[in-house]
Amino acid sequence: MEIGPMMLLSYNKDMYELEFMSFSEKDTGKAGKAIAALLKKGSIVALYGDLAAGKTALCRYLFEAKGFVEGFSSPTFTVINEYINDKMQKAYHLDAYRLTSSEELYYAGWDEITEGEFCVIEWADIVEDILDEGAIRVYIYRTERENERRIIIKLSRESDYNALKELLK
């Protein structure tokens, strides 16, 4: 099954937006794998969406695509999961749901986290004030159909937009 129709929603000098429909967890996973291909050392992926929208599923596929396959779990209660791949590289998965402010991330080691290979943050709206404009922002919305999701990805670079559009074909 192919991912649903994609389109450029809008562009301004700071942001590109790509929207598509996901009809299954595999579709959402394809988006995660495509985003993984864009990541560079220090990249941040900020995820937004309601409970059970598919944020953790997208994360799992993204981490697997980058070679972080062992022991993946949601950091709902731990807040931060650190993963180390076979090349001894570190990547981080954060769940900001239980945080009251972004200041708590500084105490939890934000500087070290941003020096890793990449970081994915679920419930990023809670810590939006510390994210720079280069973060890849992914909005996942549930629809009326059980497995259907509307996904919007916001990117700051045209080259990333073009690459992602190709990867999601």
What is the distance between the alpha carbons of residues 8 and 165, in angstroms, rounded to a whole number?
9
What is the distance between the alpha carbons of residues 96 and 109, in angstroms, rounded to a whole number?
14
What is the distance between the alpha carbons of residues 38 and 4, in angstroms, rounded to a whole number?
20
The string of DSSP letters for 35-57 reads HHHH--TTEEEEEEE-TTSSHHH
What CATH number is given to the structural domain containing 115?
3.40.50.300
Cβ neighbours around 116 below 10 Å, total: 17
Yes or no: say if 23 and 147 are a contact pair by the CB < 8 Å rule.
Answer: yes
Burial class (CB in 10 A: 0-12, 13-18, 19+), 133: exposed
Number of domains present in the structure of the chain: 1
Structural domain harbouring 89: 6-167
Question: Over its length of 169 residues, how does the chain's per-residue pLDDT go in tens digits?
Answer: 345 554 444 445 567 888 888 898 888 889 999 999 999 999 999 999 888 788 888 999 999 999 887 667 676 656 788 888 888 888 988 888 887 888 888 887 788 888 888 999 989 998 888 888 889 999 999 888 888 889 999 998 888 888 888 888 7
**In a domain? residue 1:** no
